[in-house]
Chain A
Amino acid sequence: MHSKNQEPLFHISKRDSLVWYKAMLIRLVALLVALVVCAIISVLMTGENPLSIYQTILYGSFGTTRKLWVTFQNVAMLLCLSLAVTPAFRMRFWNIGAEGQALMGCFASAACMILLKNVFPNWAIILCMVLTSMLAGAIWGGLPAFFKSRWNTNETLFTLMMNYVATQLVAYFCVVWESPKGSGQIGIINPNTELGWLPVIGGQKYMLNVVLVIVLTVLMFIYLNFSKHGYEISVVGESEKTAHYVGIKVERVIIRTMLLSGAMCGIAGLLLVGSTNHTLTTTLVGGRGFTAVMVSWLAKFNPLWMILTSFLLVVLERGAGEISTNFGLNQSFSDILTGIILFFIIGSEFFIAYQIRIRKSSTKEAQTHV
C-alpha cells in the first residue's frame, strides 16, 4: 500500500524573494481570476451581464466629472488615514484606532466652529481648528502609546477601544449642539456665515483636500525613507532589542510616532468637517479608519503604492454603490463582489511570499509556480 515515496502531495516553502515583475504578474492574475469569479457569481445570482456590471463599476467612479471628483475626494480621505497609520505599522505597532483618532479631529474642528463663531474672526477659527484637531487626534493616538511604552499594554485592544470612546463622546455632543432641539442632529454648521469653512481653491470644492493629501503623501514618503526618525521606526519595527542595543530610545520612538499618527488622523478629521461635510455626526469617518489598515498593508507600508491601493478600494466601493442603484440590487450584492476581489488580492500575497511544490513521480523535484 505504501509506496516508497513518502513525500506529501505538495509542500509549501518560503520564497527567498521574487523579482518585482513576477510578483506583479501574480497580482494581476489574481485580479483577473477575481473578476472571472465575480462574473460567474453575478450571472448565476442575478442573470445580469457581467460586462455591464464591470462597466457600471467604472461608470460609478469615473462616469461624470462630478463622480470623478467625488472619487478623488474619497481617495484623498482614505489615503490620508492610510498614511497616518503607516508609521505605526512600520514599527509593528498595530494602531487600529484611526477611526477614533480621525473622529476626534472632526470633533475638535466642529467644536471650534460652533464655540468660537462669535469670538474670533474666520482666520483665527480656522487656525484653532487646525491646531486642536491635530492635538485631539494626537492625544487619542498618544494615550495607547504611552500605556504601551510604560506598562506594555496591548495596543491593538487599546486603540480599538478608544474608537468607541470617541464615538460616544461625539454622540453626546451631537445632543448638546443639536438643532432643532431633541433631534440629535447638528446639521450644517454656520451655513450662512460659513465661518470655519476651509477655503475653496481652484473653484473645485474637493481640490484643497486632494492637493493637501498629495503633499502629505510625498512628505510621508520622505519622512519614512530618508529621515532619521524614519530609520528609527524601521529599526524598532525589526527588533526592539536591536533598537535598544544601538541606543534608540524605544519608548520615545513609540510615543512620538503615535503622536504623529494620531495628528495625521486629526488632519483627516479636519478636512472631513472643515472642507467637506461642515457638520458632525458619529458616522462621519465612515469606517475609513479600518479600511486604511487594509490599504496600508496591501501597499506594504509604502506611501506611493498606497495611492494605488486606496484608489482600488474606493473604485470598488463607489462602483458597488452604483451597481445597487442601477440594477436594483441590494447593497449586499456589491459587498459580495468587493469581498471576492479583496479575497483574491490578499490571497495573491501568499503566493508571492511562498511557493508550492507539487510532488512529481520522478525523484527529481520540479517546481511549479502557481
Chain B
Amino acid sequence: MKKLVALVLALVLCLSCALAMADRAPIALENIKIGFIFLHDENSTYDLNFLNAAKAACEKLGVAYVLKTNIDEGEACYEAAADLVDAGCNIVFADSFGHESYMIQAAKEFPDVEFLHATGTQAHTVGLANYHNAFASIYEGRFLAGVAAGLKLNEMIEAGQFTAEEAKMGYVGAYPYAEVKSGYTSFFLGARYVCPSVTMEVTFTNSWYDEALEKEGANNLIANGAKLISQHADSMGAPTACEDAGIPDVSYNGSTVAACPNTFIVSSRINWEPYFEYAINCVVNGEEIATDWTGTIQTSSVELSEINENAAAAGTLEKLEEVKAALEDGSLKVYDTATFTVNGETLTSYLADVDDMGDFQPETEVIADGYFHESEYRSAPYFDLDIDGISLLGA
C-alpha cells in the first residue's frame, strides 16, 4: 500500500513537473525582474557592451533589473545566479563563456527561472527547458569591418605608402578558439574582398582581458610590418597601441574613437538589446525562449559603429551599404568556399564539433551549397579552420 501511495505521489509530481515545463504561465511585465551577471565591469569593452544593452532593454520595456559585475568564472557565478533568484529574479543572464557550467548548475536547481547565457555552446545538448544560449552572426559584422579595413589599405597603397604586396594586417586575438577564429577569418575575408593582395598575422594573448599583453601584441605586429590592426580581446590595449603608433585600427565591441581619434576607423559589435527584449517578451507572453538564438543584421543584433572620417578611406560608407545589402539578400556569403583555400585546397566538405559534448569529435557537415554554414546549427561560432593567407604567430 505504502509503495502504491509513493508511486502515485511520484507520478503526480512528475506530471505536474511536466505540465509546468510544457506550459509556462505568462508573467506580467511589472512582476518581471531580470538579473545580469558580468565577468568584468564597464572598464572592459566587452562587458560595457552588455551593460549598455541590458540597461537600455530593461528601461525601454520598464522591467526591474539587477546588475552584478566582476563575477568570476567559477562557483562565484553559481552563487551570484542563486542569489539573484533569491532576490526574486525570474530571468538570469550571464555574459561570459566560462560562466556556462555554473549557469547550467543553477538552471538545474531552479527550474522555474529562465537562464540565458551568451556565447555558450551547451544549451542544445544539455536538455534543460529553462536554459538558453544566444549569440549573433557577428561574422557578418566582422566581414563588413574587414571591407572598411581593405578600403583603407587600398587608399594607403594608392597614396604610395607601401606596395600592394606589403599590405599586411595584424590581429590581436584572445584564444585560438572557434569564436575568435571565426571572427578574424571573416574580418580577413572582408578585407580581401576589396584588397586581393592582403595577408594577415594573428597573435594570441590567451586571456580575454589583459591590457598590457594586448598592447604588446599590437606593438609586435606593427614592428613586424602590419599596416592596420584589428582585435578580438576586451581591453583598450590594441586600440591605444595603434593610436600611439599612428596605425589605423578596426575595433570591436563598440567605438573607441574617443580614445583614438586619429586611428579608429570603425567597429563591429553585437547589439544585445534585441535579444534581451525578445527574452523578456517571451516570458511575458508565456512562450518558450529559443534554446539557441542567433541574432543577425536583420534583427539589428549585428551592428557597425559610426565611421570615423578622420581615419577611414573615402567612400567607405557607400561601399559598406552595398556589401551589407548583398549580405542581407543572400547574394554574398561570408564563408563562400570559392573565396578561400585551406592548405591550397578548396573545401567541399567539413565536419565541425557542433554538439560540444566534450568528446572533441566533429560530427556535423557544415559545408553545403558552396559555403560554410556558420551559426546555423548552433548560435555560437564553430568555424575553426586555418585558411591560407593568415599566419599565426607563435604557432
A-side residues, CB < 8 A to B, are 64, 66-67, 70, 171, 175, 179-185, 187-188, 191, 276-279, 281, 283-284, 286, 321, 324-325, 328, 330-331
For the complex of A and B, list the 8 residue pairs with the smallest distance between their C-beta atoms, beginning with the closest.
A182-B177, A188-B101, A182-B176, A277-B74, A183-B177, A277-B75, A184-B175, A187-B101
Q: Which of A180, A284, A324 contacts B177 (CB 8 A)?
A: A180
B121 at the interface (CB under 8 A from A): yes
Interface size on B, residues (CB 8 A): 36
B287 at the interface (CB under 8 A from A): no
Determine whether the beta carbon of B177 is less than 8 Å from that of A184: yes
Q: Which of A181, A182, A324 contacts B69 (CB 8 A)?
A: A324
| Minimum C-beta distance from A344 to chain B (A) | 25
Q: Which of B70, B86, B353 contacts A180 (CB 8 A)?
A: B353
Determine whether the beta carbon of B42 is less than 8 Å from that of A330: yes
Determine whether the beta carbon of B360 is less than 8 Å from that of A180: yes
Determine whether the beta carbon of B42 is less than 8 Å from that of A175: no
Determine whether the beta carbon of A181 is less than 8 Å from that of B360: yes
- Taking A181-B384, A182-B384, A278-B75 as known contacts, 10 extra A-B pairs with beta carbons closer than 8 A to each other, sorted by chain A number, are A64-B83, A66-B79, A66-B82, A183-B177, A276-B75, A279-B74, A284-B74, A321-B70, A325-B68, A331-B41
Q: Which of B98, B181, B358 contacts A281 (CB 8 A)?
A: B98
Determine whether the beta carbon of B175 is less than 8 Å from that of A182: yes
Q: Which residues of chain A come closer than 8 Å to B178, judged between CB atoms?
A: 180, 182
Q: Which of B98, B176, B177, B353 contacts A187 (CB 8 A)?
A: B98
Q: Which of B86, B102, B177 contacts A181 (CB 8 A)?
A: B177
Q: Which residues of chain A come closer than 8 Å to B42, judged between CB atoms?
A: 330
Q: Decide yes or no: A182 and B181 within 8 Å by CB, A188-B101, A276-B75, A279-B101 being known contacts.
A: yes
Q: Which residue of A lies closest to B100 (CB)?
A: A187
User: With A and B bound together, what is the CA distance between A284 and B97 in angstroms?
Assistant: 16
Q: Which residue of A lies closest to B43 (CB)?
A: A330
User: With A and B bound together, what is the CA distance between A299 and B177 in angstroms?
Assistant: 46
User: With A and B bound together, what is the CA distance between A321 and B79 in angstroms?
Assistant: 13
User: With A and B bound together, what is the CA distance between A66 and B84 in angstroms?
Assistant: 11
B73 at the interface (CB under 8 A from A): yes
The 8 A CB mask of B200-232 against A (1 = contact, 0 = none) is 000000110000000000000000000000000
User: With A and B bound together, what is the CA distance between A179 and B271 in angstroms?
Assistant: 27
B310 at the interface (CB under 8 A from A): no
| Minimum C-beta distance from A329 to chain B (A) | 10
Q: Decide yes or no: A66 and B360 within 8 Å by CB, A175-B206, A181-B177 being known contacts.
A: no
User: With A and B bound together, what is the CA distance between A257 and B199 in angstroms?
Assistant: 58
Determine whether the beta carbon of B86 is less than 8 Å from that of A281: no
B-side residues, CB < 8 A to A, are 41-42, 66-70, 72-75, 79, 82-83, 86, 97-98, 100-102, 105, 121, 174-178, 180-181, 206-207, 353, 356, 358, 360, 384
Determine whether the beta carbon of B97 is less than 8 Å from that of A331: no
A-B contact count (CB 8 A): 78
Q: Which residues of chain B come closer than 8 Å to A325, judged between CB atoms?
A: 66-69
Determine whether the beta carbon of B67 is less than 8 Å from that of A328: yes
Determine whether the beta carbon of B41 is less than 8 Å from that of A185: no
User: With A and B bound together, what is the CA distance between A64 and B88 in angstroms?
Assistant: 12
Q: Which residues of chain A come closer than 8 Å to B177, judged between CB atoms?
A: 180-184
Determine whether the beta carbon of A67 is less than 8 Å from that of B105: no
User: With A and B bound together, what is the CA distance between A138 and B185 in angstroms?
Assistant: 46
Q: Decide yes or no: A180 and B356 within 8 Å by CB, A187-B98, A325-B67 being known contacts.
A: yes
With a 10 A CB-CB cut-off, give which of B75, B97, B207, B358 has the most chain A CB atoms: B75
Q: Which residues of chain A come closer than 8 Å to B121, judged between CB atoms?
A: 180
| Minimum C-beta distance from A180 to chain B (A) | 5
Determine whether the beta carbon of A185 is less than 8 Å from that of B206: no
Q: Decide yes or no: A331 and B70 within 8 Å by CB, A66-B83, A183-B177 being known contacts.
A: yes
Q: Which residues of chain B come closer than 8 Å to A179, judged between CB atoms?
A: 358, 360
Q: Which residues of chain A come closer than 8 Å to B180, judged between CB atoms?
A: 182
Q: Decide yes or no: A67 and B101 within 8 Å by CB, A182-B178, A331-B41 being known contacts.
A: no
Q: Which residue of B lies closest to A174 (CB)?
A: B206
| Minimum C-beta distance from A205 to chain B (A) | 9
Q: Which residues of chain B come closer than 8 Å to A181, judged between CB atoms?
A: 177, 353, 360, 384
Q: Decide yes or no: A64 and B86 within 8 Å by CB, A180-B356, A182-B177, A281-B74 being known contacts.
A: yes
Q: Which residues of chain A come closer than 8 Å to B67, judged between CB atoms?
A: 325, 328
| Minimum C-beta distance from A155 to chain B (A) | 28
User: With A and B bound together, what is the CA distance between A321 and B66 in angstroms?
Assistant: 12
Q: Which residues of chain B come closer than 8 Å to A188, judged between CB atoms?
A: 101-102, 105
| Minimum C-beta distance from B37 to chain A (A) | 10
| Minimum C-beta distance from A83 to chain B (A) | 21
Q: Decide yes or no: A171 and B75 within 8 Å by CB, A182-B176, A188-B105 being known contacts.
A: no
Determine whether the beta carbon of B83 is less than 8 Å from that of A183: no
Q: Which residue of A lies closest to B206 (CB)?
A: A184
With a 10 A CB-CB cut-off, give which of B69, B74, B86, B101 has the most chain A CB atoms: B74
Determine whether the beta carbon of B74 is less than 8 Å from that of A185: no
